[in-house]
Amino acid sequence: MNFDRRSLIKGGAALGLGAGTGLLDFAKAWAQTAPWKPEAGAQLSMLRWKYFVQSEDDAFVKMIEAFTAATGVKVQISRESYEDVQPKASVAANTGAGPDMFWGLYSLPHLFPQKCVDVSDVADYLGKKYGGWVDSAVQYSQSGGKWIGIPVCYSGNLMNYRVSVMQKAGFKEFPKTTDAFLEYAKATKANGSPGGFALGHASGDGNGWIYWCLWAFGGQHVDKNDKVTINSPETEKALNYAKALYDQMVPGTVAWNDSFNNKAFLANEISWTNNGISIYVAANNDPTKKEIAADMDHAYMPVGPVGKPTELHLMYPVLAMSHTKYPMACKALMAFMLEAQNFNPWIESARGYLTHCLNAYDSNPVWTADPKRTVYRDVAKRSLTAGGQGSVGEKAAAAIADFVILDMFASFCTGRDDAKSAMRVAERQLTRIYR
Amino acid sequence: MADIAMRAGAKAPPREPTAWDRLKVNRNWLGFWFMVPAMAFLILFLAYPLVLGVWLSFTDARIGRTGNFVGLENYEWLAEDSNFWLVVFNTVFYTTVASVAKFAIGLYLALLLNERMPFKAMIRALVLIPFIVPTVLSAIAFWWIYDSNFSIVSWGLREMGLIEGNINFLGDVWNARWSVIFANVWRGIPFIAITLLAGLQTVSPSLYEAATIDGASSWQRFRYITYPLLTPIIAVVMTFSVLFTFTDFQLIWVLTRGGPVNATHLMATLSYQRAILGGNLGEGAAISTAMIPFLLAAIMISWFGLQRRTWQQG
């Protein structure tokens, strides 16, 4: 077999099987020719989000060990829940001390763009080599024309559903439109198998479905100029739809955080929810849940009246802090992580939980080996950014971190506020954030 | 000797001691230097962060940027923020109910533990268990106990035929408030019970004997001997209890993250959410600073109210 670059990309899975000495050989060869030579005596520390799939972390550790063996740069990895990476990165940015690199969530680099190392050269190198970046990843990682982070991967947030429940409810396939989905929710509840979306302060799943719903009906929290537009008839339609959906859900979703729907799905308490592929992976890993794994599948989020996908998926950018003594080592590691020989086996080890941001990796067999994973291949391309129509900077990050939109939906769905009051409260908060 | 000294003195009269000479032997000056390490520690780790926090509340500082002075803008914004007032209500309600419950049950438990009983030492040690379990661990236990699908309480009541569906502990506004208060009370009782028990042990048995001989009932012994002698320690323990409850964070963050619909958000959790997660340090600092008057009021009530007798004696 001729191992040129193209075949390496296409045959990523095969490379994964040969990880070990093959990976080390590649790492050594790569270190010789890489455009970034780590500083003498460089040592790095990285704080990353804590894995959801063990095999992903194992593959990541192997990759880092190969990097260390090839470059002599020791890398200390710490792991935190993805929601906790941001506060720690913020403190590091404020104090100018702490880990050299942070691998966090959404628009993390935009919270302190002036404290991030300019990694435009790394992004250009990878983009040219691997078929370019998806649009949303570019938006998440650029500030003032510079790349302040490298978009490593997405974690998809799509519909998880039980096939038998769907069939019992009289549907041949999972609904593709919001109207059909509401009918589906009613039918599944009537059959005693309701679903549920998290309406508590769930950063991933909660914000995921709420923003999808808002955008599906044409609502936008800001326009292109970051002018607040949340108080609109479109938002009200989205609220009414969410309320109608909420009425069909299992009780208690207003208290759900990110893990509740996983637990409930795996305990046969709900038949549909929005999530990454982790429920499916967990079901496959547990001999007592094999039945669930066999009976479940995934689908895109239904399309609303706007007529196009309005999904929001979790993006994980990695950034280097400007206080690092070893910026070249940081850049070398970023580039190394996303080279096909490393990235393909790693993304495969995540078993569909993570999705690439570089177009060339579409051909990784991980997406076709199990057809139930295939929809997750496209999440990076389908995802909008947390800023909606507006900028993706710190204001959008603040709005999503403060759960402004999520609280608006929750207060309306639970009857605490009527639509007008809920929108007014959100409008006031957003006006301050976007001033 | 005296002669020599007199002659020497005649030749060179002793110079007036300078300010420095006086300072060198000044005991207060020496005392000041002994105090410096403690003072530096307090200034560095207590006063400076407090002052910095208050200063930040008058700025529009964001994470990674120092920000500009904006006067009272953060406070004006909060004054009209319905979420903030809801959180103030939550915090006051949470603190009041939990503190009263902890005091009542803690005092009752202390009185019980002060009685003669078999395995007294072991029972006293067992009472401390909720206090020694790390808050996050106990919060995670409660998280499961309150789970909307897997709650053991719901399961137990369902098995007994008392309820049909699960109890929505954390999904309903008032259920959630009572649930977090219960968890806080469970965790806080041992601190109060053991501290009050220590206070009870200092009350001289002869007072009770004298009162018994005088024909005092058990309520009168409690009301006129135990309670007055216990008030100083009650003042201390309730001050700490109120402060800890008012500034609670871990329990809420693990159980509800402030939900549902902000019904269990406390000032500490809202401050963290807005300052650290939302990046708005100025507004978060303003919420934290707004806690100070409440905390001061709690301290004043405890000290001037409960220690009235001591003040009168003084």
**Same domain assignment for residues B110 and B30:** no
Least confident of A17-26, B48-57, B104-113, B269-278: A17-26
Q: Which of A94, A254, A433 sits opposite B64 (nearest CB)?
A: A94
**β-strand pairing of A272-275 with A158-162:** antiparallel
* Assigned domain for B73 exists: no
CB < 8 Å to B149, chain A: 250, 252, 260, 263-264, 267, 269
User: Which of A110, A254, A430 would you mutate first to test chain B, the one with the most B CBs within 10 A?
Assistant: A254
Pick from B63, B259, B279: CB nearest A201: B259
Domain assignment of residue B61, yes or no: no
State how far the Cα of B302 lies from the Cα of B159, in Å rounded to an integer: 46
Residues B209 and B242 in one domain: yes
pLDDT of residue B307: 62
Contact yes or no for A200 and B256 at CB 8 A: yes
HEC assignment per residue over chain A:
CCCCHHHHHHCHHHHHHCCCHHHHHHHHHHHHHCCCCCCCCCEEEEEEECCCCHHHHHHHHHHHHHHHHHHCCEEEEEEECHHHHHHHHHHHHHHCCCCCEEECCCCHHHHCHHHECCCHHHHHHHHHHCCCECHHHHHHHEECCEECCEEEEEECCEEEEEHHHHHHCCCCCCCCEHHHHHHHHHHHHHCCCCCCCCCCCCCCHHHHHHHHHHHHCCCCCECCCCCECCCCHHHHHHHHHHHHHHCCCCCCHHHCCCCHHHHHHHCCCCCEEEECCHHHHHHHHCHHHHHHHHHEEEECCCECCCCCCCEECEEEEEEEECCCCCHHHHHHHHHHHHCHHHHHHHHHHCCCCEEECEHHHHHCCHHHHCHHHHHHHHHHHHEECCCCCCCCCHHHHHHHHCCHHHHHHHHHHCCCCCHHHHHHHHHHHHHHHCC
Instruction: Report yes or no on B112 lying in a domain.
Output: yes
Residue B156 domain flag:
yes
Mean pLDDT of chain B: 87
Judge if B91 and B150 occupy the same domain.
yes
Q: Is the pLDDT of residue B291 over 50?
A: yes
Given B64, B150, B257, which is nearest A257 (Cβ)?
Answer: B257
Whether residue B188 sits in one domain with residue B235: yes
Q: Does residue B99 sit in the same domain as residue B215?
A: yes
Domain count, chain B: 2
Residues of chain A with Cβ-Cβ distance to B166 below 8 Å are: 251-252
The complex's ipTM works out to 0.71
Distances (CA, A) of B42 to B46, B48, B50, B56: 5, 8, 11, 20
Q: Which residues contact B96 (CB under 8 A, 6 or more apart)?
A: none
Residue B2 domain-assigned?
no
Res A146: pLDDT: 93
Q: What is the value of pTM for the model shown?
A: 0.81
> Looking at the structure, do residues B118 and B153 belong to the same domain, yes or no?
yes
Q: Is B276 on the interface with A (CB under 8 A)?
A: yes
Phi/psi of residue A158, nearest 5 degrees: -125, 175
Q: What is the Cα–Cα distance from A104 to A319, expressed in whole angstroms?
A: 8
For residue B16, pLDDT beyond 90 = no
CB A114 within 8 A of CB B64: yes
Q: Are residues B105 and B151 in the same domain?
A: yes
pLDDT tens for chain A, 435 residues long, are: 343 444 444 444 333 434 456 788 899 999 999 999 999 999 999 999 888 778 888 999 999 999 999 999 999 999 988 777 887 888 888 788 999 999 998 778 888 888 999 999 999 999 999 999 999 999 889 988 899 999 999 999 999 999 999 999 999 999 999 999 999 999 999 999 999 999 998 888 999 999 999 999 999 999 999 999 999 999 999 999 999 999 999 988 998 888 889 999 999 999 999 999 989 999 998 999 999 999 999 999 999 999 999 999 989 999 999 999 999 999 999 999 999 999 999 998 888 889 999 999 998 888 988 999 999 999 999 999 988 999 887 788 888 888 999 999 999 999 989 999 999 999 999 998 998
Q: What is the mean pLDDT of residues B64-85?
A: 88
Asked if A112's CB is within 8 angstroms of B64's CB, the reply is yes
**The predicted structure's pLDDT at residue B137:** 85
> For residue B20, what pLDDT band results from cuts at 50, 70 and 90?
confident
In chain A, the domains with their CATH numbers are 5-155+314-378 (3.40.190.10), 158-312+402-433 (3.40.190.10)
Q: What is the CATH number of the domain that holds B253?
A: 1.10.3720.10
Give the number of C-alpha atoms closer than 13 A to the C-alpha of residue B68, restricted to the C-beta side.
Answer: 2
- Chain A contact present for B256, CB below 8 A: yes
Is residue B68 situated within a structural domain? no
Statement to judge: residues B138 and B21 lie in one domain: no
Residue B76 within a domain: no
Measured between alpha carbons, how far apart are the two ends of chain A, in Å?
59
Contacts 24+ apart (CB under 8 A), A181-190: A181/A245, A181/A302, A182/A241, A182/A244, A182/A245, A182/A248, A184/A272, A185/A245, A185/A248, A185/A249, A185/A272, A186/A248, A188/A248, A188/A271, A188/A272, A189/A248, A189/A249
pLDDT at A17: 38
> Quick check: B62 contacting A, CB < 8 Å?
yes
For chains A and B, CB pairs below 8 A equal: 109
Based on the domain organization, do B48 and B119 belong to the same domain? no
Residue A157: alpha-carbon gap to chain centroid: 7
Q: Residue B177: pLDDT above 90?
A: yes
What pLDDT score does A394 carry?
77
- Matching residue, tokens 């930040």: B56
Segments forming the whole domain that contains residue B26: 17-56
Query: What is the spatial distance between Cα A150 and Cα A137, in angstroms, rounded to a whole number?
Result: 8
Which chain B positions have a beta carbon within 8 Å of A414's beta carbon?
A: 173, 260-261
Question: Tens digits of per-residue pLDDT, B31-57?
Answer: 999 999 999 999 999 999 999 999 999
Nearest to B171 among A94, A252, A433 (CB): A252
Same domain? B35 vs B184: no
State the pLDDT at residue A77.
93
* A390: exposed, middle or buried (Cβ count in 10 Å: 0-12, 13-18, 19+): buried
B46 and B151 inside one domain: no
- B282 pLDDT band, cuts 50/70/90, is very high
Instruction: Please give the Cα distance from A318 to A337 (Å, whole number).
Output: 10
What is the per-residue pLDDT across B217-232, written as a single tens digit (0 to 9) for each?
989 998 899 888 888 8
Answer yes or no: do A433 and B280 touch at CB < 8 A: yes
Q: Which residues of B touch A239 (CB under 8 A)?
A: none
Tell whether B258 lies on the interface with A, counting CB pairs under 8 A.
yes
Chain A contact set for B83 (CB, 8 A): 407, 425, 429
Q: Is residue B4 included in any domain, yes or no?
A: no
**Residue B1 has what pLDDT?**
46
Q: Which residue of A has its CA nearest to B269?
A: A402
Average pLDDT over residues B120-138: 83
**Which residues of chain B does A411 touch, with a Cβ-Cβ cutoff of 8 Å?**
261
Q: Are residues B146 and B219 in the same domain?
A: yes
* Predicted pLDDT of residue B306: 66
